[in-house]
Amino acid sequence: MKLSSKTLSNLPTGIIVPSYDRTKIKTRIVHLGFGAFHRAHQAVYADQLASQFDSDWGFCEVNLIGGEQQIADLNAQDNLYSVAEMASEGWSGRVIGVICRAIHAEVEGIDTVLEAMAEPQVAIVSITITEKGYCYQPATGKLIQDHPLIQHDTTNPRVPKSAPGVIVEALRLRRERQLPAFTVMSCDNMPENGHVTRNVILGLAKLQDEKLAEWIEANVSFPSTMVDRIVPAVTPETLEKIAQQLGGINDPAGVACEPFRQWVIEDNFVNGRPEWEKVGAELVQDVLPFEEMKLRMLNGSHSFLAYLGYLAGYQHINDCMQDDNYAAAARHLMLNEQAPTLRTQGVDLVAYADSLLNRYRNTALKHRTWQIAMDGTQKLPQRMLDSVRYHLANNGNFDCLALGIAAWIRYVGGVDEQGLAIEVSDPLLAQLQALVSGSQEGSARVKALLSLEVVFGNELPQNPKFVAAVTEAYEHLLKFGAKESVAKLAQRF
């Protein structure tokens, strides 16, 4: 039996189900990227608002590239799915009822997506499409004009494929129909995600139609957000546990996550917004200090643990935390190499670091190091390189960051410490493979990878201190392996 409106009444008591009239929920938000994170984050806030405060803010979910099955699953169960919170003491469950509609661009066609975005009541387009979905250069935050999807959308603007292209075309339709614009809200892990989104959308609009670009600039806002909740990719094991929790009812669209969640949003919406502050979100004028804190302390330490953990044979973040040296190195990285670079005021960063380490210890989460290691070219700049620049300018120590970057180089080399192939997943995979195969193991490999300008810019690879630190860390990794390199580093603190 599957989760659906009909089977809601068969769920065990204790599972929270929609207490509100679902027919009153409207598609006021179109969300691009119905992945694990959105299901366990923004959708939960909206569901709480509907059940506790009579909010009518609901979603039309859209997947553009990948995720066909998730949309099909959702359609097959009356747009209902469940979120399980996994605490070490036990699980709790909630069925989300605020989704009105779900569309896949490659199944229903791009026109269906564009028409949904052009519906008059749509006030917000929110996005969780992973960093690579923005078609931007991580080192500069600018649109990649020769990206294949962007080239396609520049020549075929009416049938776009990229997320920026779809948003530009939907806005063109709204302008043509004299409808108000919508707010575009990124919930992806990028610094100043609102600015990146604005850059790529205006960048593409300018290539297509100057007048449209001017209209977008005048009518659309791009608030930045800081989003936090650890939501590992769903596995068959997770789905089995969810079914057990739902009393034997299957929910292939279900998702499981940690209990913690946080959302800081720049209060800048052109066409109204839900009252998220009523259910714990923080609406602020400037998100940047929060974003930097989270990206460098949480995501930075996650990437450090992911590369060094994967190389050492640790499959999950909680496995890394069993190794005292990994835990000590992650804490040192957070407090001594990331915290000093932050502009955050009034936050106890020691307490924040310790709370992150506790979250990483959650044995129910099973967050794979491989999952966090993917798309490194899109992640390193904001998670590690901005802090390295700070230390180079301020004569600070960055040994942990250098080891993290060296571990990324070792990881994208494609062969692990046991000589087994690593399944490297990255939008720049072809470039990475060419750099690896065109260089000798050792310092030449480091030099080759650091030459990747879209990631490292052009000043870091010229900085002798930076190159020497990464090369030394890389040589340690080759000689001693990841576990011992981390142990040697941790012993120095």
Ligand X SMILES: NC(=O)c1ccc[n+]([C@@H]2O[C@H](COP(=O)([O-])OP(=O)(O)OC[C@H]3O[C@@H](n4cnc5c(N)ncnc54)[C@H](O)[C@@H]3O)[C@@H](O)[C@H]2O)c1
Residues that bind ligand X (CB under 6 A): 33-38, 63-67, 128-133, 163, 188-189, 227, 229-231, 233
What are the DSSP calls for 206-232, one per residue? HHH-HHHHHHHHHH-----EEEE---P
Instruction: Work out how close the CB of 202 gets to ligand X at its nearest, in angstroms, rounded to a whole number.
Output: 18
**Residue with Cβ nearer ligand X (68 or 210):** 68
Instruction: Work out how close the CB of 81 gets to ligand X at its nearest, in angstroms, rounded to a whole number.
Output: 13
Instruction: Work out how close the CB of 254 gets to ligand X at its nearest, in angstroms, rounded to a whole number.
Output: 13
Q: Is the dihedral of CA 432, 435, 441, 446 positive or negative?
A: negative
**Residue with Cβ nearer ligand X (35 or 157):** 35
DSSP code of 463? Answer: -
Element (H, E) at 196: helix 193-208
- DSSP SS3 for 185: strand
**Residue with Cβ nearer ligand X (131 or 319):** 131
**Residue with Cβ nearer ligand X (166 or 490):** 166
Instruction: Work out how close the CB of 356 gets to ligand X at its nearest, in angstroms, rounded to a whole number.
Output: 13
Instruction: Work out how close the CB of 148 gets to ligand X at its nearest, in angstroms, rounded to a whole number.
Output: 11
Which residue in the block uniquely carries the two structure tokens 């650890």? 230
What CA dihedral angle connects 433, 439, 444 and 449, to 10 degrees? -20
**Residue with Cβ nearer ligand X (51 or 189):** 189
What is the rounded distance in angstroms from the CA atom of residue 58 to the CA atom of residue 23?
A: 10
Instruction: Work out how close the CB of 50 gets to ligand X at its nearest, in angstroms, rounded to a whole number.
Output: 22
Instruction: Work out how close the CB of 130 gets to ligand X at its nearest, in angstroms, rounded to a whole number.
Output: 4
Q: What count of residues does the chain have?
A: 493
Q: What are phi and psi of 445, to 5 degrees?
A: -65, -40
How many Cβ atoms from other residues are within 10 Å of residue 207's Cβ? 18
Amino acid at 412: V
Residue nearest to ligand X (CB): 35
- DSSP SS3 for 294: helix
**Residue with Cβ nearer ligand X (48 or 126):** 126
Q: In what order do the strands lie in the sheet with 183-186?
A: 99-104, 57-63, 26-32, 124-127, 183-186
What is the rounded distance in angstroms from the CA atom of residue 84 to the CA atom of residue 216?
A: 39
**Residue with Cβ nearer ligand X (344 or 371):** 371
What is the rounded distance in angstroms from the CA atom of residue 58 to the CA atom of residue 49?
A: 10
Instruction: Work out how close the CB of 253 gets to ligand X at its nearest, in angstroms, rounded to a whole number.
Output: 11
**Residue with Cβ nearer ligand X (62 or 477):** 62
